[in-house]
């Protein structure tokens, strides 16, 4: 999938185009204003933004950042996140869009930019989004087709307390007691399942493992997994899952400050296999001495049950929006999606870094 590099909006004298690397400073200032964050906020890290927008991505080699220009001024921005969705009937190229902001004096430009992105797309998936985004998406033809649940498990409650930026006085004692109790819950037995960390490039075998483990959902090529492993802002690790020594799936973890995140988990097997594999993920997360909390998404019954049986706590639900006018994907819900399908696995909220 590829958009035209330049589209002129003759009616208003502006143009929509792929952003240039040298415009990253302007885009950053626009993001800072739109998201109302400090100039040194993690989400504005220049290496992270360059990686998201301009670093070579095998699913989208060119710029994934689009802007509206008024002359040489960048007045609106949105970026796309390439996705690859498989169903029992077909494989579909899709995208998600994020980092959507516009200058206060050019609100219409931001809307026009989204319309142009949609005009060049056949399918779009968006999980969550800011309140204003959730209100606007249905106006562009998106339907809320499902929800994604966010689960969390406390790993080190005392260290979590000490690294929490803001504390709520006497209420904090209750939270510590609660989180301590949650952290002591026994996980599901791992049985004959274990994990092996992948060093270097992703083995070609992973593509077949993911396809066998996914009835309907997003797929990630080995070259795309390599792209994620090169994220400059947070550590990302990939693991092979083995049952009785035989490869039966994989998972990926990132850590943002003290929060470990399950970017993806794919398992070949029945429900008990998913639950045992999730327990293996939990054990691997505990190995990192800096990790105080582990979070993950569930969009299918197997993932939800795996989290519940490993005593994760449900902390949030987010809408799954889909733009699918030709109904290529909608009939095959629920879809297996995860934090590899947008930038959720790589963002930091310093003032509120934990879900528990």
| pLDDT tens per residue across span 25-64 | 999 999 999 889 899 999 999 999 999 999 999 989 889 9
Q: Which domains does the chain have, with CATH numbers?
A: 6-122 (3.40.630.30), 148-321+329-346 (3.40.630.30)
> Parallel, antiparallel, or unpaired: how do β-strands 91-102 and 293-298 relate?
unpaired
At residue 65, does pLDDT exceed 50?
yes
**Rounded mean pLDDT of 76-105?**
92
At residue 9, does pLDDT exceed 80?
no
Quote the pLDDT of residue 203: 87
What angle do the packed helices 222-229 and 205-213 form, to 10 degrees?
A: 100
CA distance 298 to 149: 5
- Nearby residues of 128 by Cβ (< 8 Å), 6 or more positions away: 134, 148, 318, 319, 344
Confidence of residue 6 (pLDDT cuts 50, 70, 90): very low
At residue 3, does pLDDT exceed 70?
no
**Rounded mean pLDDT of 68-95?**
93
| pLDDT tens per residue across span 244-303 | 999 999 999 999 999 999 999 999 999 999 999 999 999 999 999 999 999 999 999 999
| pLDDT tens per residue across span 155-208 | 999 999 999 887 667 788 899 999 999 999 999 999 999 999 999 888 888 888
Q: Max CA-CA distance within the chain?
A: 65
At residue 232, does pLDDT exceed 90?
yes
The dihedrals phi and psi of 91, each to the nearest 5 degrees, come to -115, 130
CA distance 91 to 93: 7
At residue 241, does pLDDT exceed 80?
yes
At residue 5, does pLDDT exceed 50?
no
CA distance 32 to 101: 9
- Nearby residues of 270 by Cβ (< 8 Å), 6 or more positions away: none
Quote the pLDDT of residue 12: 61
**How many other CB atoms sit within 10 Å of the CB of residue 2?**
9
What percentage of the chain carries pLDDT values higher than 70?
96
**Rounded mean pLDDT of 321-332?**
94
CA distance 113 to 34: 15
CA distance 264 to 133: 25
């Amino acid at each position: 999938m590829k958009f035209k590099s330049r589209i002129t909006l003759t009616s208003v004298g502006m143009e929509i185009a792929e952003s240039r690397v040298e415009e990253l400073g302007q885009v950053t200032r626009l993001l800072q204003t739109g998201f109302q964050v400090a100039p040194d906020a993690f989400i504005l890290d220049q290496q992270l933004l360059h990686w998201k927008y301009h670093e070579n991505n095998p699913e989208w080699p060119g710029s994934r950042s689009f802007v509206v220009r008024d002359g040489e001024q960048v007045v609106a921005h949105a970026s796309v996140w390439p996705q690859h969705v498989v169903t029992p009937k077909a494989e579909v190229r899709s995208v998600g869009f994020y980092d959507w902001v516009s200058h206060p004096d050019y609100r219409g430009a931001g809307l026009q930019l989204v319309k142009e992105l949609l005009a060049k797309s056949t399918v779009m998936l968006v999980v969550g989004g800011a309140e204003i985004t959730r209100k606007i998406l249905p106006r562009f033809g998106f339907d809320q087709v499902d929800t994604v649940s966010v689960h969390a498990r406390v790993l080190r409650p005392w260290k979590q307390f000490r690294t929490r930026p803001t504390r709520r006085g006497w209420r904090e004692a209750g939270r510590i007691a609660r989180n301590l109790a949650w952290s002591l819950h026994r996980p599901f037995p791992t049985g004959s399942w274990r994990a092996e960390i992948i060093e270097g490039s992703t083995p070609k075998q992973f593509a077949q493992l993911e396809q066998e483990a996914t009835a309907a959902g997003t797929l990630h090529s080995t070259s795309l997994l390599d792209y994620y492993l090169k994220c400059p802002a947070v550590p990302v690790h990939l693991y092979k899952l083995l049952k009785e020594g035989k490869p039966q799936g994989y998972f990926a973890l990132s850590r943002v400050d003290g929060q470990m995140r399950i970017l993806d988990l794919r398992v070949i097997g029945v429900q008990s296999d998913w639950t045992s594999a999730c327990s293996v993920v939990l054990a691997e997360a505990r190995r990192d001495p800096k990790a105080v909390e582990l979070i993950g998404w569930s969009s299918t019954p197997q993932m939800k049950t795996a989290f519940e049986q490993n005593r994760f706590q449900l902390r949030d639900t987010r809408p799954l929006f889909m733009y699918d006018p030709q109904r290529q994907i909608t009939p095959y819900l629920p879809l297996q999606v995860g934090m590899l399908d947008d930038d959720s696995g790589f963002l930091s909220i310093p003032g509120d870094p934990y879900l528990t």
